[in-house]
Amino acid sequence: MADAIAEAARRHPAPEGLVYTYGTAGFRTKAEVLDSVMTRCGLIAALRSRALKGKWIGVMITASHNPPQDNGVKLVEPLGNMLQEEWEVISTVMANKATPEDVSKYYHEIAAQYKIDLSSPARVVVARDTRASGARLLNCVTDGLKGADVEYKDYGFLTTPQLHYMVRCLNTEGTPESYGIATEKGYYEKFAQAFKTALGSKRPQGHLTVDGANGVGGPKLTELIKYLPPKEEGLDISVINDNVIKPESLNVDCGADFVKTNQRAPPSSKAGPGDRCCSLDGDADRIVFYFRDANNMFHLLDGDRIATLVASFLGDLVRQSGLAESIKIGVVQTAYANGAATNYVEKNLKLKVDCTATGVKYLHHAAEKLDVGVYFEANGHGTVIFSADTLETIEKHEPRSPAQKEALDVLSACINLINQAVGDALSDMLLVEVVLAHKNWGPQEWLSTYDDLPNRLLKVIVADRRIFETTDAERRLVKPEGIQKEIDQEVQKVRQGRSFARASGTEDAVRVYAEAATRAEADDLARKVADIVKSAGK
């Protein structure tokens, strides 16, 4: 076995002088320097599966919203959740081993440390997005899997959430927790049926335009539409930016990240005033909504807006079902959530808000601790998690009136409509449409629930991001010393001011966020905090 491991690593040597880190999104960088990392991730997936007694582990080849020339890989745990943190560390060490012999030695060291029987079965599922480099990098992964003697399934092209769904289905097959059928058809049927049931006799207003970021989400949505009720009975959708034949157009002037960052619709959008629009990202795990009003003003309905909309609807259903005493709903945010959204959840919806560090894994863990945890990053990545106890409570609840029964049925359908394994743009899109239909709202009514505080996000390039250390869910800097005091002084000078600076997880930069009562004050505050960071980072 030792030779097979070294041999697999030898086929894809590591470039000299590069240091790889398994970040919140796995390994992600220029595609041409990822071959060695991919093979080694195949080896780690094998070890992880064996450590978990042969459970299926997922390997997703994607770089999400990054430019077309990038790629990446992330590993998925048996229930579709993110890789455990100690295994992120193991993956980083493995990726940076210098020689094939070092790779093999480390592989066996990990097996010994975790008492892993290397002759026991290992099972892995693989999928990729539509990037041109995907086919080559898939071969690198499978070389690692073959070297480690793994049984694997290659699902070809999938959205990231579809891969997470497959992993969860395969691991829960034949159990009371069975999540669904581990095929694309199974995925479409599950979510389409849940959408139909949750919608009931309600109808979404108007038409929805979906921007697929020229990524894998476009064709997969087109496939999903075939399983949805006809547009006369359900949702009238048109898909734009679904060109996967030209991989170089992926995420270019389109997609969730473009819309969120530039605060405008993709240039290709032909939607008229009041038309609902949404954009997926390159691997369809993020979604943002937006529209233009009668005066042609652009309005973004981002992850904060989705979280507040969904939390308010689930809160209504829980109350109407007669379950308010037994189920508590909470919203999990990061420091990037708009202060007005936090205020709305606490004051209007009367729900608890938790704040975590930036990164989906932190939000997910915090949401898992709640009865019903609604989490969305402002960038549109998120989902809702229902605890096992909550699911049991809902299942056993006897409604006392037809109205309670109807609310309970819609709540149960929403649980099936939400991809609890991971944030899923397609599932989230259908959920938002159900909520708007039940509330009989268009985008304008949704927008008018609260007014966002003007905010500005700036990126400051620094020599070494590691000198910037934070505390309090990344809202305050502890190092360099004295810098937080300077930031606090600037914040106090503006009305409803709030600002924080945190090191980027992916590049040598510090991200500065500022918000205030007016656009001018927010811009001014962001600029002053950026200057403080710049002088500290020299």
Q: For 408-457, write each residue's pLDDT tens digit.
A: 999 999 999 999 889 999 999 999 999 999 999 999 999 999 999 999 98
H or E element: which one contains 290? strand 287-292
Q: Where are the alpha helices (DSSP H) in 286-401?
A: 303-320, 339-343, 360-368, 388-396
* Two structure tokens written together for 523: 């811009």
pLDDT at site 233:
82
pLDDT at site 25:
83
Q: Which residues of 6-25 are buried (b: 16+ CB within 10 A; e: fewer)?
A: bebbbebebeeeeebebbbb
Four-point Cα dihedral 107, 109, 113, 117, nearest 10: 50
The span from the CA of 413 to the CA of 411, in Å, is 5
Sorting pLDDT into bands at 50, 70 and 90, what band is 504? confident
The span from the CA of 387 to the CA of 20, in Å, is 35
Mean pLDDT is lowest, of 76-85, 115-124, 176-185, 356-365, for 356-365
Residue among 142, 143, 60 at smallest CA distance from 424: 60
Binding residues: 64, 281, 283, 285, 377-379, 502-506, 511
Sorting pLDDT into bands at 50, 70 and 90, what band is 270? confident
Angle, CA 287 vertex, CA 285 and CA 293 arms, to 5°: 175
Q: How does pLDDT run across 225-252, given as a tens digit for each residue?
A: 999 998 888 899 999 999 999 999 999 9
Residue among 163, 216, 221 at smallest CA distance from 192: 221
The architecture CATH gives domain 2-157? 3-Layer(aba) Sandwich (3.40)
Q: Which residues contact 139 (CB under 8 A, 6 or more apart)?
A: none
Residue 289: phi, psi to the nearest 5? -105, 160
The span from the CA of 83 to the CA of 91, in Å, is 10
pLDDT at site 537:
75
Binding residues for substrate: 377-379, 502-506, 511
Sorting pLDDT into bands at 50, 70 and 90, what band is 359? confident
pLDDT of residue 2 exceeding 60: no
Q: Are 120 and 114 in contact (CB under 8 A)?
A: no
The span from the CA of 155 to the CA of 422, in Å, is 18
Would you call the peptide bond into 480 cis, given omega within 30 degrees of 0 as the criterion? yes
State mean pLDDT over 110-137: 97
Binding residues for Mg(2+): 64, 281, 283, 285
* Two structure tokens written together for 423: 């944030």
pLDDT at site 411:
97
CATH number corresponding to 186-300: 3.40.120.10
- Please indicate whether residue 16 or residue 42 has the higher confidence score (pLDDT): 42
- Burial (0-12, 13-18, 19+ Cβ within 10 Å), 431: buried
Q: Are 415 and 395 in contact (CB under 8 A)?
A: no
Q: How does pLDDT run across 147-166, given as a tens digit for each residue?
A: 999 999 999 999 999 999 99
The half-sphere exposure of 225 on its side-chain side, counting CA atoms within 13 A, is 16
pLDDT at site 333:
95
* Two structure tokens written together for 316: 């209504």
* Two structure tokens written together for 115: 């008492």
Sorting pLDDT into bands at 50, 70 and 90, what band is 23? confident
Sorting pLDDT into bands at 50, 70 and 90, what band is 38? very high
pLDDT at site 9:
96
Sorting pLDDT into bands at 50, 70 and 90, what band is 185? very high
CATH class of 455-536: alpha beta
Q: Are 71 and 131 in contact (CB under 8 A)?
A: yes
State mean pLDDT over 507-520: 92
pLDDT at site 234:
83
- Catalytic positions are 64
State mean pLDDT over 293-300: 93
Q: Are 42 and 147 in contact (CB under 8 A)?
A: yes
pLDDT at site 271:
86
Q: Are 246 and 130 in contact (CB under 8 A)?
A: no
State mean pLDDT over 271-290: 94
H or E element: which one contains 498? strand 498-503
Q: Which residues contact 484 (CB under 8 A, 6 or more apart)?
A: 476, 477, 478
- Say which DSSP state 248 is in: G
Domain boundaries, the chain: 2-157, 186-300, 303-447, 455-536
The span from the CA of 532 to the CA of 466, in Å, is 16
Q: Which residues contact 190 (CB under 8 A, 6 or more apart)?
A: 180, 181, 416
* Two structure tokens written together for 356: 């975590």
Four-point Cα dihedral 114, 118, 122, 128, nearest 10: 80
Residue 524: phi, psi to the nearest 5? -65, -45
| Mean per-residue pLDDT over the chain, rounded | 94
The span from the CA of 258 to the CA of 452, in Å, is 20
Percent of the chain surpassing pLDDT 90? 88
The span from the CA of 255 to the CA of 66, in Å, is 11
Mean pLDDT is lowest, of 63-72, 359-368, 422-431, 474-483, for 359-368
Q: Which residues of 89-124 are buried (b: 16+ CB within 10 A; e: fewer)?
A: ebbbbbbbbeebeebbebbbebbeeeebebeeebbb
Percent of the chain surpassing pLDDT 70? 99
pTM assigned to the model: 0.93
* Two structure tokens written together for 410: 């819609």
The span from the CA of 216 to the CA of 245, in Å, is 11
Sorting pLDDT into bands at 50, 70 and 90, what band is 528? very high
pLDDT of residue 1 exceeding 70: no
Q: Which residues contact 427 (CB under 8 A, 6 or more apart)?
A: 161, 191, 383, 417, 418, 419
pLDDT at site 358:
87
Identical fold at 303-447 and 455-536?
no
pLDDT at site 231:
85
* Two structure tokens written together for 500: 């924080």
The architecture CATH gives domain 303-447? 3-Layer(aba) Sandwich (3.40)
Residue 324 neighbours by CB distance under 10 Å: 12
Beta partners for 514?
A: 456, 499
